[in-house]
Structures are given as C-alpha cells and as structure tokens.
C-alpha cells in the first residue's frame, strides 16, 4: 500500500511478527558494531541456515546445482549470499545490496600519548559525523590488532556492563563563551577527538608513567606492543545496546542503523527463502560505503563481479560473456537509509517527497545532489515492475528524496552496480538523526523492508 501508515494494517498476529523481527534485528545490531563483526555474525546465521562457503566449493572444484545455498566472506568485511536459481544465471539475478560500515571514530596508526597524567589515543573520524555529538558519551573499542607473527588479536571492550568504556571530554559550559559562539563544525574539531584510555601511573616509572601503565596492561592482557597499533584497525563506537523508544516501544534507538537496518533484512530475506528460486538470488553486504565505496572491500572493487564469476563457474562452467550477461540482466534493490522527515527540522524537507517514519519501506528514484549529480536514476519501467510486486505482496511503501532540492544530498552504492547495465533502484528505511551516535528507526518500517525484500526476491523478473 502506497503512503499508508503501516501500523494501521497490522492485526495481533502481524504485530507479534513485527516485534519478533525487531528482536532479531536488535540482536544483530548489538552483535555487529563494525563491518567485521557484522560479517562474523552473518556467517554464523548463514551456516545455521544451511549455506556453505563458496571458497570451499572453489578449492574443491565443486559443482553447484539449482537450489544450492552458498555464501562468500570477502576479507572479513563483506559478505555475499546466493541461492542458485532454476533458470540459467544469464537471465539475471535478483540482488539485494546494503552496506555494513557505519560512521565512527577510528584510532590513528601512531595514536598513544600522555598529557598531564592522562593517556589518550589520537583518532581520525570515519564517514560524515557531527563531531560535537561524539563527546561525553560512553564509547566502546572494537577491532583487530594484527601482529608481525601473523596472529590477530580481536578487541571488543565496553559492551559488557562490567567492562570499562572510553570517553572524549568536552569543555565545561562555565568556560565555553568562545566555544559557544563557534559554528557547529568548529565546536569540536577533528583533532580534538582524543580518546581517554587511562590515568593511573605505573609505580616506579618516572617518564610518561600513565602511558607506560596502559602499555603494560595491553602487553599483559593482549600481548601487544605500542608498535602493533601500526597494523591495527580499531573502531570507536557508542557503547551499549539498542533500545526501544517511546511508551509504545514502536521505535528503536541504536548505533549503526545506517545501514544495518537495510543489511539485516536483506540478508534475512535470502536466509529465510525456502526451496529453489526461479532466478538466482543474492544479498551483498558491503564495506566502505560511508567513505565512497573505496578500497578492496568497497563496492567499487571487483570483489562482487569476481564472486559472481566464481559462482557462474561452479554452476555453468566459466564463460566471460555469461558472467557479463548475468550482471547486465540482473535486478537490484540497492538499500540505504533514507532521511526520515523530522518535524523539528521541517524546513529542510519537501513534505510530499519526504520519507515519513512508519509509512513503510522507502524508494528513491534518484539520490545525489545539485541536479541529481552522482546519483543512479532508476528506469521508470523498472519502478513500475516494483510497484506491482509491492502492491501484490501488500507491502507498505513510499517514495522520497533526500531533503529539498539543493539543500544537501548523498550517495549510495546503486550507481556502482548500475555500471553493469543492470536495473537498480535505491530503497531503504527512514532514519531519524542519521549519522548520530544513536540513530532511530521504526519497527514497522523495518518489518515492511523485510516484506519488501522477500517479495522482490520472489517476484522480480527479467525484462
């Protein structure tokens, strides 16, 4: 149903399903605070759902038949799930895509210092953040430290209630006259995002005794040295679990809804698919969207195309033209969060074309900024097919743009996948306070997103 409030159509049985799906999503969100953790969780869920590792199939030179369920873990930061269809792959796949990296604060390569009895880690933020939102809140540290001997230490500190947390200080209001008159971009500057990690000196140590104590603790607990920060990837994120919001518990506040609120239901729709589909089904959860889909794990890398080629080889035997046709003839929902209409900031939205929280999954014909620059502009022929699928499956959905014309804008992975010539449209779930430490979404929108993805996997067809 187009532009209806989703909550109004639920009976008791459906409400129970909305709540049950939200509970599974929150568990995923709490377990996956980084792209790596999201992939680790996804592998567990995939294996529990009978998916096998495509790399194992490749190593053994195995063959896959219609109905085969496989996943591929790429560098521990991307995951792709496939169910092989009964039609030849050349007729295109039904693909769900979303990203699992989220805005955060990364630790620098040479981070550790001491200043007047406090030990800090120097940081460089990742993605677009309002830096002033990340001070004076409990922060957790997640990531890996890779050592020269080839071993990797996995870090997750600050989530258990008995764990310590980390903290970035702000200036007290009493002395903040100058700061309060600065523009919001300057209130907290990037180089002021210094993470407090200790303040107790090592007994008997004369120089930089607090830093020495921290290094001793790191050595004792994790067997790492100061130089090991050089080959670490440590991500600082808000500490704690996602929480229901409101007397009615209809919303969820959580870290990293952008874009795990699309990634989780995309993955779940493939995991929950029963039997053999007509077309090959795929969910791709990717890294590095927030900084431009760069690097070996970003959507601009060839890992997805290469994996489709491997899958094609395992199903049909390798054929370069077959892989080209598979990608070109595919249909994709490229999901990323939409800016939810916020009555507190009504001025930046154009209400007829804004995503309203509670009105279901949101479709964006285009994104981008300043005359649709940088966007994927979906074909209306394809949009018409999707409208039919959504209405047939009784999905609540809406359409939106990211704010008023020329107010701002943003990009997604859609244009990258569209480079293959496949039909691709941006869609996703409305978020309030996008890129804040705690973002907010509606449980109804999450559930309608899941229904949408399930209907798309079953219903999308080659033109």
Q: Which residues bind Mn ion (CB under 5 A)?
A: 258-259, 336
CB contact burial 193-216 (16+ within 10 A = b; e otherwise): bbbebbeebbeeeeebbbbbbbbe
Q: Which is nearer to Mn ion, 69 or 99 (CB)?
A: 99
Query: What is the DSSP code string of 338-364?
Result: EEB--GGGGGG--GGGSBPTTS-EEEE
Q: Which is nearer to Mn ion, 257 or 451 (CB)?
A: 257
CB 330 within 8 Å of CB 418: no
Within 10 angstroms of residue 58's Cβ, the number of other Cβ atoms is: 16
Q: Which is nearer to Mn ion, 310 or 336 (CB)?
A: 336
**Least spacing, CB of residue 133 vs Mn ion, in Å:** 14
**Least spacing, CB of residue 392 vs Mn ion, in Å:** 28
**Residue carrying the six token digits 């830096």:** 131
**Least spacing, CB of residue 101 vs Mn ion, in Å:** 9
Q: Which is nearer to Mn ion, 114 or 258 (CB)?
A: 258
Q: Which is nearer to Mn ion, 329 or 412 (CB)?
A: 412
Q: Within a 13 Å sphere around the CA of 444, how many CA atoms are in the beta-carbon half?
A: 20
Phi and psi at 422, nearest 5°, equal -75, 155
**Least spacing, CB of residue 369 vs Mn ion, in Å:** 14
Q: Which is nearer to Mn ion, 258 or 310 (CB)?
A: 258
Q: Which is nearer to Mn ion, 64 or 263 (CB)?
A: 263
What 3 state SS string does 226-256 have? HHHHHHEEEEEEECCCCEEECCCCCEEEECC
**Least spacing, CB of residue 344 vs Mn ion, in Å:** 20
**Least spacing, CB of residue 74 vs Mn ion, in Å:** 19
Q: Which is nearer to Mn ion, 233 or 290 (CB)?
A: 290
CA nearest 341: which of 349, 332, 331, 333? 349
Query: How many whole angstroms separate alpha carbon 187 and alpha carbon 167?
Result: 17
**Least spacing, CB of residue 130 vs Mn ion, in Å:** 13
Query: How many whole angstroms separate alpha carbon 11 and alpha carbon 438?
Result: 30
H/E element, 107: strand 104-115
**Least spacing, CB of residue 387 vs Mn ion, in Å:** 24
**Least spacing, CB of residue 259 vs Mn ion, in Å:** 4
Q: Which is nearer to Mn ion, 99 or 359 (CB)?
A: 99
**Least spacing, CB of residue 104 vs Mn ion, in Å:** 11
User: Rg (Cα) of the chain, in Å, rounded?
Assistant: 23
- Report in angstroms the alpha-carbon separations of 401 from 269, 391, 414, 458: 25, 21, 15, 27
Q: Which is nearer to Mn ion, 114 or 235 (CB)?
A: 235
**Least spacing, CB of residue 336 vs Mn ion, in Å:** 4
Cite the DSSP H helix spans in 32-152. 35-48, 54-59
Six-digit token pair at 135? 């001070």
Beta strands in 308-455 (DSSP E): 331-335, 338-339, 361-364, 368-369, 397-399, 409-410, 423-428, 430-431, 439-442
CA nearest 123: which of 233, 37, 208, 220? 233
| Burial degree of 261 (CB within 10 A; 0-12, 13-18, 19+) | buried
In angstroms, how far is the first alpha carbon of the chain from the final one? 24
**Least spacing, CB of residue 138 vs Mn ion, in Å:** 22
Q: Which is nearer to Mn ion, 277 or 340 (CB)?
A: 340
Q: Which is nearer to Mn ion, 41 or 258 (CB)?
A: 258
- Report in angstroms the alpha-carbon separations of 67 from 114, 255, 275, 331, 459: 58, 35, 7, 19, 17
């Amino acid at each position: 149903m187009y532009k209806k409030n989703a909550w109004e159509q639920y009976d008791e049985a459906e409400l129970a399903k909305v709540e049950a799906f939200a509970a599974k999503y929150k568990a995923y969100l709490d377990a996956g605070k980084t792209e790596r953790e999201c992939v680790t969780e996804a592998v567990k869920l995939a294996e529990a759902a009978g998916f096998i590792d495509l790399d194992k199939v490749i190593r053994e030179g195995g063959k896959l038949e219609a109905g085969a369920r496989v996943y591929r873990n790429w560098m521990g930061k991307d995951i792709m799930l496939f169910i092989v269809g009964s039609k030849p792959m050349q007729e295109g796949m039904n693909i769900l895509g979303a990203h699992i990296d989220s805005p955060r604060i990364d630790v620098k390569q040479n981070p550790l210092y001491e200043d007047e009895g406090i030990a800090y880690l120097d940081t460089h933020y990742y993605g677009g953040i309002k830096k002033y939102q990340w001070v004076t809140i409990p922060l957790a540290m997640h990531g890996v430290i890779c050592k020269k001997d080839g071993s990797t230490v996995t870090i997750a500190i600050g989530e258990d209630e008995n764990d310590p947390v980390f903290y970035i200080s702000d200036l007290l209001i009493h002395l903040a006259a100058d700061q309060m008159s600065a523009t919001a971009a300057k209130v907290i500057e990037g180089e002021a995002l210094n993470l407090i990690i200790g303040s107790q000196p090592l007994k008997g140590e004369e120089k930089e005794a607090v830093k020495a104590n921290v290094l001793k603790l790191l050595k004792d607990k994790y067997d790492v040295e100061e130089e090991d920060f050089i080959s670490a990837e440590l991500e600082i994120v808000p500490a704690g679990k996602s929480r229901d919001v409101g007397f009615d518990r209809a919303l969820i506040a959580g870290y990293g809804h952008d874009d795990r609120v699309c990634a989780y239901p995309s993955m779940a729709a493939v995991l929950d698919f029963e039997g053999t589909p007509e077309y090959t089904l795929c969910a791709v959860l990717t890294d590095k969207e927030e900084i431009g889909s760069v690097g070996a794990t970003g959507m601009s890398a060839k890992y997805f195309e290469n994996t489709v080629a491997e899958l094609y080889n395992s199903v049909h035997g390798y054929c370069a033209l077959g892989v080209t046709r598979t990608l070109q003839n595919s249909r994709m929902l490229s999901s990323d969060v939409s800016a939810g209409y916020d009555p507190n900031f009504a001025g930046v939205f154009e209400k007829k074309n804004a995503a309203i929280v509670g009105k279901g999954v949101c479709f964006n014909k285009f994104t981008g900024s300043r005359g649709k620059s940088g966007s994927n502009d979906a074909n209306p022929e394809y949009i018409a097919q999707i409208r039919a699928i959504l209405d047939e499956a009784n999905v609540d959905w809406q359409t939106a743009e990211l704010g008023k014309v020329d107010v701002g804008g943003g990009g997604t992975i859609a244009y990258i996948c569209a480079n293959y010539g496949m039909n691709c449209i941006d869609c996703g779930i409305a978020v309030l306070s996008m890129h804040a430490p705690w973002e907010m979404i509606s449980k109804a929108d999450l559930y309608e997103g899941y229904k949408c993805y399930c209907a798309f996997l079953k219903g999308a067809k080659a033109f």
